[in-house]
Amino acid sequence: MNLVAVLIVRDEAANLPACLASLGGLVDGVHVHDTGSADDSAGIARSLGATVSSGPWRDDFAAARNDALQAAGRPDWVLSVDADERACGVPRWLHETVSSAAADAFLVELDNRHDELPYTHRSPRLFRPAALHWEGRVHERLAPPGAWPELPRDALHWEGRVHERLAPPGAWPELPRDALHLAHHGYERADARRRKAERNAALAEEALRRGVAGRDELATTLLDLGRSYVGAERRQAAVDAFERLREVAPPGARQWILGTDALARLLLGAGHDEAVVVLARQLRAEGVEPQYCDWLEAQALAQLGRAGDAWRLLEGVHEVVDPAGRRYAPEHLAALKGLLAELVSVR
C-alpha cells in the first residue's frame, strides 16, 4: 500500500515549505502539479523532495486535479492537499487505518482558520484514485468514473459537510482526527479570501455564459456563484444569485437549502431581520436541523428587539452546525447566549 499526497499549485512558493514539512512521515511521497506558476513553486517543491509535473490551467479545478492524479501515477491511496493547508496526524495510525479500509474514501476533518468566523468540517480528501476522480469546475468533488447506474431512490444519499456528493449508504467513513486532520490557513486574511472568491466567481460566471445542462447543474452553478460573491464581499450580487437559485431549484432540494441558508445569513448581516425570520422558518419546514434554525432565527429576533423570544429559542441550542456541515466554535454560541441572558434579566 502506498499513500501519496497530491497538490495542485500556482504561485505557492511562500506556502509550500510549511505544507510539505507537515506531510513528512505521514505519506510515502508527495506529488506537486504546477498549473503555470510565475514564481519558483516547482523548484521549491523539487528541492523539498516532491516529484513535480506541470500542465495548463483550463479554468477548471477538477480537470487540474485529475491531471495531477494522472501525473502522480495513480498510487493506491491519495491525500489531496492544498498548499495553504497543514497536516497533523499519527503516521502509524493513519497507515493502519487506510491499509485495512474497505471504503474507497475517508472524510478528513479540516479546521478552517477564517478571518471572520472559524469553523470545522469534513471533506473526502483521502481516497483510492482507481475508484474515484474529480468533477466540478469550481467546487470540485469526488465521483466514481462514468455515469451513475439507475438505482432505487433509497440506494444513494448525500454525504460531505461542505463539498457534498452522492454515495451509497455506509460509504466514506470519517477518519479519526488523531490519525490525520488538516488546518486550512487560506482564509485567515480578508484580502486572500476576497482574491480567491473573485477567482471562483469568474469561473462560475464563465460557466453560466457557456451554458449549463439542466436545472440541477444551473442551480449548482448559481450556488457556487453566490458563495463566491459572498467571499468577495459583493453582497447585492450574492443576493441576486441566491434569489435566482431559489427560483430554479425546488424547495427542499440540496441547492435550495444551501442557497436559502446563505441568503439568510447574508440578510442577517445587512439587518433585514424580518426576512431572516421567514427564511429560517422555511428551512425548518424543509427538515434542516432545528437547533441551527433556532440559532438563525434567534439572532434575527434579537436584532428586532425581541430578546425574550430570541432567548426562548436559543436556550435549547447546544451546538451550531449549518446545513453544509460546518461546525462553528462553541464560544460564539456561548457569547450570544450570555448577551441574551443579560438582556432578558435586565428587562
Total number of domains constituting the chain: 2
Q: In terms of domains, do 19 and 155 share one?
A: yes
Q: In terms of domains, do 12 and 107 share one?
A: yes
The answer to whether 324 touches 161, Cβ cutoff 8 Å, is yes
CATH number at residue 104: 3.90.550
The pLDDT assigned to 190 comes to: 81
The amino acid at 193 = R
The answer to whether 115 touches 190, Cβ cutoff 8 Å, is yes
Entry pTM? 0.70
Q: What's the rounded Cα separation, in Å, for the pair 238 and 207? A: 16
CATH number at residue 215: 1.25.40.570
Q: What's the rounded Cα separation, in Å, for the pair 322 and 112? A: 15
Q: In terms of domains, do 72 and 123 share one?
A: yes
The pLDDT assigned to 212 comes to: 80
Tell me the pLDDT of the chain (347 aa) as tens digits: 899 999 999 999 999 999 999 999 999 999 999 999 999 999 999 999 999 999 999 989 999 999 999 999 989 999 999 999 999 999 999 999 999 999 999 999 999 887 666 788 899 999 999 999 999 887 788 988 754 343 333 444 454 444 444 444 346 899 999 999 999 987 777 888 888 899 889 989 998 988 887 899 899 999 999 999 998 999 999 999 999 999 999 999 999 999 999 999 999 999 999 999 999 999 999 999 999 999 999 999 999 999 999 999 999 999 999 998 888 888 889 988 998 888 887 55
The pLDDT assigned to 168 comes to: 43
Q: In terms of domains, do 87 and 33 share one?
A: yes
The pLDDT assigned to 115 comes to: 63
Q: In terms of domains, do 123 and 216 share one?
A: no
Q: Which of 79, 73, 67, 80 is nearest to 51 (CA)?
A: 73
Give bridge partners of residue 106 from the DSSP assignment: 126
